[in-house]
Structure 1
Amino acid sequence: MTAPDVSTELMQMINCYQVSQALQVAATLGVADQLKDGPKPYEIVARTCGAHPASLYRLLRALAAVGVFHETSNKEFSLTALGACLTSDAHGSRRNYARWIGTPGQWKSWGNLLHCIKSGESASDYTHGKDAWTYRKQHPEEQAIFNDAMTGNSRSESQAVLEAYDFSRFSCVVDVGGGQGLLLKEILLACPSARGVLFDQPHVITSAQQLPTELAQRCRLVAGSFFEAVPQNGDAYLMKAILHDWDDGKSIEILRTCRRAMSPKAALIVIERVVGSPNESPDSKFSDLNMMVQYAALERTRQEFHDLLTGGGFELAEVVPTRSPMSIIIGKPMSIE
């Protein structure tokens, strides 16, 4: 067997941004949705998507070459298992995440990764003159795509979290920075006797998805800032993908705000990626680069979570892995002096 050509392998890695952008275009055009019912000629797909036929064919054949679509000899295309994940209604759909990757706020900021590495500063600030949060507020069309992308991530990860951790022990779960409320909804569906509080900024709460009637009776929506105060009287305080958006100083502020609202018997449940050992776990380490680019923030190792929770008034009790990239980090409140 011929040994792999490492130079060619590296070249493929160098050009991965081309695949990312091609996926973004296919997701934006809704190509995968057009192929859900079976193979179609590229001309029909182009007509439905409003694309230039010859150009769309070149896009589809390139993505077929990396396994996203399948091309027949007569230039018809169908979905593969990978391509099915680009459909809007697939379980674990990645369509909205692919759309978000190519938005100017994300794409252009990554183009200034070198600035991050040399300065330690956010590339978003350098690129757009403002942090990523402010940028998206001023570009509501990108904010909407971002919200949909994050909800899609939660949809694919929530089942893994519920399989790995028993939430039925809690009577009231406060989801701090809970966004559109998808994870909290899944917890309430799995735990019929539990109540929930969805807490986030006013503009996020306003856009939160409507809960089914039977869940709406068990869930309150509260607007505010987790730097100031969070709702009291919960026995579990949940934060999914929140702390990685902030540096240690701001993260400790958030944790201390939660600690002030919690009873000594309440639990802190942090759902984040945990950076793995050297030479493995690329998912968490490239996500760490993304946090640096967007927010001058970071993903953390287990030891870094231990130190962070201690600074925020918690003892790290355990770290529970899931079958998704996320882990469940459990904190117990320490005494407030």
Structure 2
Amino acid sequence: MTAPSTPTAGPPARYRGIRILEVLRTETVTPQMRRLILGGEEIAGMRDDAMNIKILFAPEGVADPGWPLQGPNGKPVWPKDPLRPIVRTYTLRWLDAVRGELAVDFVLHADGEATRFARRAKPGDLVGVGGPGGRKVLPADWYLFAGDHTALPAIAHVLEKLPADAVGHALVEIPDAAEEQQLRKPDGIVLTWLHRDGLPPGRNTLLRDAVLALPWPAAAQRPFAWVCGESSTVRALRAYAREERKLDRRQIHAIGYWRAGLNENAYHDAYDNDRDEDYFKTWREELAERGIPAEAAD
């Protein structure tokens, strides 16, 4: 009797946590902001109820990166250099489920892997997208949004998602008037543009001073503070919200996107969007309330 043959194992499956999309077109939003419109079959089923996404793209000089494979423990198994893709965290600017498109805005503010990718990206280039995930903006009776140029795509996304009766203030530090954008927002949100006009990014107190000078309504019982941008500024404003304004950690969303004095690669390797333990503790609690495993917060 012939022994039954053993089925031959197929090639390892690609990691389930990412979708492979392609660049459909590019747009110039402002002189220093470039938008990539991505699409493809794998965008089906994607949601925009969160906004943090992982972008995976080929290193410079590599036509097609090697995408991570599904490991036996559920974690991704990454290819070796030079095929390993570059991974960065960005904001889902918008998602059009009907058209099967999403947009990601890149600030062309420095020489780094992501900036160079955004400059050279062209229709047909493949991009991996993971997520979306991250904390949600909680219901509040008064909102504070504060961020620099790198936080503008996220602030724009959040403002568009707020209820029509939301009230509060959004402070956005940008290089100059040419970087202002037309943002959709509730009428009750006051938008203030802070022009650096030559002040060095990350080495000025423009945003910090504006937040500290902003009056908070005495009647607000459930304020929410959203602060993102240069790391030292974010840390200072996080401390201000906790210590001076007495906000609970669940009333604060504060993330550093970059740090003055470190280039994109150095900051990503050292901090990868540095967040304090309060952020992770709060996110794990919110995930538990939604029935999602806490590992998703890591």
State which structure, 1 or 2, has the greater radius of gyration over its C-alpha atoms.
1
* TM-score (ref. length: structure 1): 0.38
Higher strand share: 2
Q: Which has the higher contact order (CA 8 A, sep 6+)?
A: 2
Higher helix share: 1
